[in-house]
């Protein structure tokens, strides 16, 4: 009997997520062969020994008996109210519990918010480099991702005039990722205000990805975008995964603020989609109130002496000592986005480098092109391992780049 090929949906054309793609699959194969791989491709704190605060675990355990039924499609009230209180403490006063949606991580909420908004051919302004889920979710929901450049020579900050020049009648929203993944850039108030004014002039929905909002270094500050948006609708997205090291709990939230008066149909659409999936993971939601209202242990990790700070510093020092690398120092988040100098290695290709580094040095990173950039001389690396591991990794990277440079002479 001959069986017909089962094709994938054409909706997947143009969708990529190389952070868990070809290189990650090869890394798994190498591990099955007995090799020890240093996996630095994903920001997954639990894999590097970081623990979720114990009080959050206890809150879940105490409420397990209340977690067996479905909850409201927007989430349990204590979790949503805790998010409201956090927003109000940051100066965002026009939100209530009905404006908060709890989701299975921010990833699910990105999909819901875009699916409720987009029609065929609608456009979304997405930063380049971006967290590639934003581009993928736009494409999967019938839209077109239009990438606005955040150039390395400008510290990975966008130019508001360049952003505005990309807007046309099909543009529906602008995505702001701050602190940024993959670059670690943190935008100042003036830049954010300029981006918001662009959005308001063109009646765009502002989607602000703030999942790393408290992961800041050397005096950097995060300005909540919702405090700046008055005339447009703002969707602020965050969750427990990064700041609270609880990726597996799958708890994120979307908060709607700004001009909600003219967004009733859209908000009903988001609620409809939330209802269709019944509800998000209930046990994890019980950790939200404890997380947001308790001691913010992230502060100790990002200060001098803290592990995230010291590993970041080990990375910065390693790049400074390199003969082949440059770096815009990350001021937030848990990543860096180094550049390989083409002056020394003219034929450098980030995808080949990623595979060679994996095969020969047993280190897994994400090539820069994974983040929707038009150049191929960067790579993303997470700053989650111990400082000594980071120094070892960059020693291996330097060896490989030296081999490249010698081969090109």
The Cα–Cα gap between 191 and 37 comes to: 40
Per the structure block, which two tokens stand in for 104? 């299975």
Q: How far is CA 64 from CA 81, 282, 407, in A?
A: 20, 9, 60
How large is the average pLDDT for residues 381-389? Answer: 97
> Cα 310 to chain center, whole Å?
22
Q: Round to the nearest angstrom and report the end-to-end CA distance of the chain.
A: 57
The Cα–Cα gap between 85 and 73 comes to: 20
In-domain check, residue 126: yes
Domain that holds residue 331: 10-51+300-408
Query: Are 24 and 79 found together in one domain?
Result: no
CATH of the domain at 115: 3.40.640.10
pLDDT exceeds cutoff 70 at 409 = no
What band does 2 get if pLDDT is binned at 50, 70 and 90? confident
The Cα–Cα gap between 335 and 218 comes to: 15
In-domain check, residue 200: yes
In-domain check, residue 5: no
In-domain check, residue 332: yes
- Full DSSP string of 95-139: --GGGEEEESHHHHHHHHHHHHH--TT-EEEEEES--HHHHHHHH
How large is the average pLDDT for residues 325-341? Answer: 97
Closest residue by Cα to residue 367 from 4, 40, 119: 40
Query: Are 194 and 177 found together in one domain?
Result: yes
In-domain check, residue 32: yes
The pLDDT value recorded for residue 16 is: 77
CATH of the domain at 41: 3.90.1150.10
Mutual angle of helices 105-117 and 264-276, in 10-degree steps: 130
Average of per-residue pLDDT values in the chain: 95
Query: Are 152 and 181 found together in one domain?
Result: yes
- Full DSSP string of 61-106: HHTGGGSSS---TT--HHHHHHHHHHHHHTT--S--GGGEEEESHH
The pLDDT value recorded for residue 1 is: 67
Query: Are 154 and 218 found together in one domain?
Result: yes
Burial readout 261-284 (b: 16 or more C-beta within 10 A, e: otherwise): eebeebbebbbebbeeeebbbbbb
Closest residue by Cα to residue 59 from 288, 296, 247: 288
Tally of domains in the chain: 2
Q: Which of 293, 317, 345 is the last residue of a domain?
A: 293
- Full DSSP string of 228-243: T-SSSEEEEEEESTTT
CB 18: neighbour CB atoms within 10 A? 17
Query: Are 128 and 153 found together in one domain?
Result: yes
Query: Are 315 and 335 found together in one domain?
Result: yes
Q: Which of 8-17, 35-44, 245-254 has the lowest mean pLDDT?
A: 8-17
86-135: pLDDT as tens digits = 999 999 999 999 999 999 999 999 999 999 999 999 999 999 999 999 99
How large is the average pLDDT for residues 239-256? Answer: 96
In-domain check, residue 319: yes
Q: Phi-psi region for residue 145, left (φ > 0), alpha (ψ -120 to 50) or beta?
A: beta
How large is the average pLDDT for residues 257-276? Answer: 96
Q: Which of 8-12, 39-43, 299-303 has the lowest mean pLDDT?
A: 8-12
The pLDDT value recorded for residue 191 is: 98
Query: Are 100 and 205 found together in one domain?
Result: yes
Beta bridge partners of 381: 336
Q: Which of 244, 275, 293 is the last residue of a domain?
A: 293
Query: Are 92 and 172 found together in one domain?
Result: yes
In-domain check, residue 229: yes
Q: Which of 277, 293, 309 is the last residue of a domain?
A: 293
In-domain check, residue 184: yes
Query: Are 98 and 196 found together in one domain?
Result: yes
Query: Are 312 and 249 found together in one domain?
Result: no
Per the structure block, which two tokens stand in for 347? 């034929």
pLDDT exceeds cutoff 80 at 20 = no
What band does 9 get if pLDDT is binned at 50, 70 and 90? confident
Query: Are 62 and 42 found together in one domain?
Result: no
Query: Are 111 and 215 found together in one domain?
Result: yes
């Amino acid at each position: 009997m001959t069986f017909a090929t089962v094709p994938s949906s054409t909706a997947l054309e143009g969708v990529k997520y190389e952070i868990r793609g070809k290189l990650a699959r090869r890394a798994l194969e190498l591990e099955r062969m007995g090799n020890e791989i240093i996996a630095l491709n994903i920001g997954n704190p639990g894999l590097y020994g970081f623990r979720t605060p114990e009080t959050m675990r206890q809150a879940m355990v105490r409420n397990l008996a209340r977690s067996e039924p479905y909850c409201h499609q927007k989430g349990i009230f204590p979790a949503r109210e805790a998010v409201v209180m956090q927003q109000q403490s940051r100066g965002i006063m026009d939100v209530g519990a009905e404006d908060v949606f709890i989701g299975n991580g921010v990833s699910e909420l990105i999909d819901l918010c875009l699916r409720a908004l987009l029609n065929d051919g609608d456009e979304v302004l997405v930063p380049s480099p971006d967290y590639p889920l934003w581009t993928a979710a736009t494409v999967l929901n019938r839209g077109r991702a239009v990438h606005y450049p955040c150039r390395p020579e400008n510290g990975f900050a966008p130019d508001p005039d360049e952003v505005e020049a990309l807007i046309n009648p099909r543009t529906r929203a602008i995505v702001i990722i701050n602190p940024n993944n993959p670059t670690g850039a943190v935008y100042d108030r003036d830049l954010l205000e300029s981006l918001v004014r662009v959005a308001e002039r063109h009646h765009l929905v502002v989607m602000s990805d703030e999942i790393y909002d408290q992961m800041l270094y050397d005096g950097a500050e995060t300005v909540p975008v919702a405090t700046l948006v008055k005339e447009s609708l703002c969707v602020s997205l965050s969750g427990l995964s990064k700041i609270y090291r609880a990726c597996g709990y799958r708890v994120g939230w979307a908060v709607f603020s700004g001009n909600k008066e003219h967004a009733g149909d859209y908000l009903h659409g988001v609620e409809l989609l939330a209802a269709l999936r019944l509800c998000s993971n209930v046990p994890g939601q019980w950790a939200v109130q404890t997380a947001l209202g308790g001691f913010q242990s992230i502060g100790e990790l990002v200060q001098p002496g803290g592990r995230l700070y010291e590993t970041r510093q080990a990375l910065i020092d390693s790049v400074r000592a390199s003969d082949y690398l440059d770096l815009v120092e990350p001021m937030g988040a848990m990543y860096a986005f180094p550049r390989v100098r083409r002056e020394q290695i003219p034929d450098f290709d980030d995808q080949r480098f990623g595979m060679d580094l994996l095969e020969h040095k047993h280190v897994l990173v994400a090539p820069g092109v994974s983040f929707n950039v038009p150049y191929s001389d960067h790579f993303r690396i997470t700053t989650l391992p111990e400082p000594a591991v980071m120094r070892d990794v960059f020693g291996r990277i330097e060896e490989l780049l030296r081999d490249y440079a010698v081969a090109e002479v």
